[in-house]
Amino acid sequence: MPNQDLIKQLLERMKLKYVTDKEGDLVAPWEKFRTYFMFRGEKQQRILSVRTFYDRPHTIEEKGRLLETIDEWNRRTLWPKVYTHTNDDGTVRLIGEAQMLIGLGVAPDHFVNTAVSWIRAAIEFDKWLVETLGLEKDAESGDGDGGDEGGNGTNGTNGGTDGTGGEGGTSGGATS
């Protein structure tokens, strides 16, 4: 059965840095986003949920354009499925998510290939968003120091696994 050790091995093979947050989930931080690998549920209902929290803040006035843009992404790609979260202060953030039911078993090759594909797609979404919305060039996360798969910065990881981008969630440093 896939577990956290297998995810660690994958991240290490991809030369990506990761930390374990205070809730015990693995987090791979990049400069402008961080990806959480969370195992949830029991027995036959066990799932792996991979969530990417994109840290670039957007205003409430930009939300309509963001929704149109992520709708385009969601229509043309399998994953991650991206949605918005609006904080109480009006700041809009994007979250990408993919899940796999693993409780009944999963072929090791399928698990590995899917997890790697999800990681690459999370990186690709950030690059695509920067290009599509004409965001600042230095926001491109693929130019960091994290290895072949696109940058993996070493800044802090602030934000929650609850979809809020920081309220009631997890935080931690970015060293491995």
Its pTM surpasses 0.85: no
Structural domains in the chain, sorted by start: 4-133 (3.30.1460.70)
pLDDT at residue 28 in the model: 98
CA distance 130 to 38: 27
pLDDT digits (tens, 9 = 90+) for 24-72: 999 999 999 999 999 999 999 999 999 999 999 999 999 999 999 999 9
3-state secondary structure 135-150: CCHHHCHHHCCCCCCC
pLDDT at residue 17 in the model: 98
Radius of gyration of the CA atoms of the chain, in A: 16
pLDDT at residue 104 in the model: 94
Q: What is the mean pLDDT of residues 110-137?
A: 94
